[in-house]
A and B are shown apart, each in its own frame.
Chain A
Amino acid sequence: MESTSLEQLLAEYEFFGALGPADLALIAGCGRNEHFDAGGFLFRQGQQADRFYLVRAGRVALEIEAPGRGSLVIDTVETGGIVGISWIFPPYRWQFDARASEPVRAVGFDAACLRQKADDDPRLGYELMKSFAGVMAQRMQSARVRLLDLYSDVRTG
């Protein structure tokens, strides 16, 4: 019952929009609804990357601890966004902390379960990889633009 309702729920999100009902059912079988209080961590830097999350409501901050500067928020993920990419690639370790900056409702997915299903069905794996490639491209673009430090003023006068 849980996976059926989860499957319908996933179909509402753009991230899973290219997937058909059979694929959504397979993916939903690896997911479950989760809740995080404001300030709670979805995961911590250095831990094993064994899940990823679809944010259903709230905002998640991706943070990095900078010696002497404390924590810095380097990105945020809002409703409909995906938190967690490191589960796809060895060594499956989180690169950042993910903290709920407000109460968060999310669907958490078991990474080992999904990796196994993607290995068993390369077409499903390819569809999933395309969706994650879109997320990675968007984050890389955002990071590159911010590297430009656009708001600094290079004019003189």
Chain B
Amino acid sequence: MFAPAEALAPMVPRPFRVAARWPETRGVVTLALEPVDGPPLGFAPGQFTMLYAFGVGEVPISISGRQDGQVLQTIREVGAVTRALCAAEPGEVLGARGPFGSDWALHAAQGRDVVVVAGGLGVAPLRPAIRGLVADRERYGRISVLVGARSPDDLLFLDELRALADDPGLHVATTVDHAEPAWEGPVGVVPELIPDAPFDPSTAIALVCGPEVMMRFTAEALLDRGVPAERILVSMERNMKCAIGHCGHCQFGPEFICRDGPIFPYERIRRLIAVREV
């Protein structure tokens, strides 16, 4: 008994050619991918693909933007597969499944102040949302973008952040864990930027992405400011393998991160996020 072809489709990688590749920060690379054939990859901000380095393996990678019909994926080298992906040269062909997962639901943010909080590589899956918010800013209230990184050299998309910071209609703040004296911005953890961000907590929506501990502290700082847990969206990352909720590797209590997430209202996962056995 064989499964029908349409049931297999989510598990079959589509070939994508590396159209361009550029380094972002130490150990972080962005690939611009175009389909070898067929339509461009459609996606919603916050979704991810399973990127396949043929002969090496497959990993979930956030979509960090679109450029000239190509999809951008920003990858940090942390193991064999990501090392192969980061080393992919223009012209090479990779496999991609997806896009998968829930999105940042920008429609729910319309008419509200929006606070975007990113830590480390977490700015990558938030970039399509930031670009969408800024492009349609008349639909939203005040927009704040708060970014944290280990050091100034580790700030992703620095030119884009600087352009946003120069926009008088936006509140943009960056902080780092430590710096040399030439750094003129704040030094500290990203939740410390929340008290000074201009938003109305009674109606604002927050989009948060970064390492899980950073998201926990950020969510608690947002709760302290008065943002309810159901309007704090966090992007979870666990051990995603199949991306369609079949293998169970990314099970998180009653949820599968790949199928039910990766973006969840904090209210839904708050009870579980600090439980070490989960």
Contacts and interface: CB of A to CB of B under 8 A. Distances in A.
B59 A151 contact: no
Nearest to B183: A73
A59 interface: yes
Interface string B175-200: 00111110111111100100010000
Contact of B189 (A74, A78, A142, A153): A142
B4 interface: no
Interface string A134-157: 000000001001101111110111
B199 to A, nearest CB: 18
A75 B148 contact: no
A156 B148 CA distance: 22
Interface residues of A, number: 27
A71 B182 CA distance: 10
Contacts of B179: 72-73
Interface string A69-104: 011111110100000000000000000000101100
Given A150-B120, A151-B150, A61 B187 contact: yes
Nearest to B193: A78
B210 A150 contact: yes
Contact of A155 (B79, B149, B180, B214): B79
Contacts of A146: 177-178, 189
Contacts of B177: 146, 149, 151
Contacts of B211: 150-151
A63 interface: yes
How many residues of B sit at the interface, in one of the four size bands?
Answer: 35 or more
A40 to B, nearest CB: 13
B102 interface: no
B154 interface: yes
A76 B187 contact: yes
B181 A145 contact: no
Contacts of A73: 178-181, 183, 187
A67 to B, nearest CB: 15
A71 B81 contact: no
A152 B120 CA distance: 8
A10 B217 CA distance: 30
Contacts of A78: 186, 196
Contact of B184 (A70, A71, A102, A142): A102
Nearest to A151: B120
A146 B119 CA distance: 12
Most B CB within 10 A of own CB, among A73, A74, A99: A73
B226 interface: no
A150 B188 CA distance: 12
A153 B119 CA distance: 12
A137 to B, nearest CB: 13
A156 B80 CA distance: 8
B76 interface: yes
Contacts of B121: 151, 153
B90 interface: no
Contacts of A153: 76, 78, 120-121
Interface in B201-259: 210-211, 213-214, 217, 237
A142 B178 CA distance: 12
A76 B180 contact: no
Contacts of A155: 78-79, 237
Given A76-B186, A142-B188, A99 B150 contact: no
24 contacts: A59-B186, A61-B181, A71-B181, A72-B178, A73-B180, A74-B187, A76-B187, A148-B213, A149-B150, A150-B120, A151-B120, A151-B149, A151-B177, A151-B211, A151-B214, A153-B78, A155-B237, A156-B79, A156-B80, A157-B57, A157-B59, A157-B79, A157-B80, A157-B81
Interface of A: 59, 61-63, 70-76, 78, 99, 101-102, 142, 145-146, 148-153, 155-157
Of all A-B residue pairs in the complex, the 4 with the closest CB atoms, nearest first, are A151-B120, A156-B79, A157-B59, A151-B150
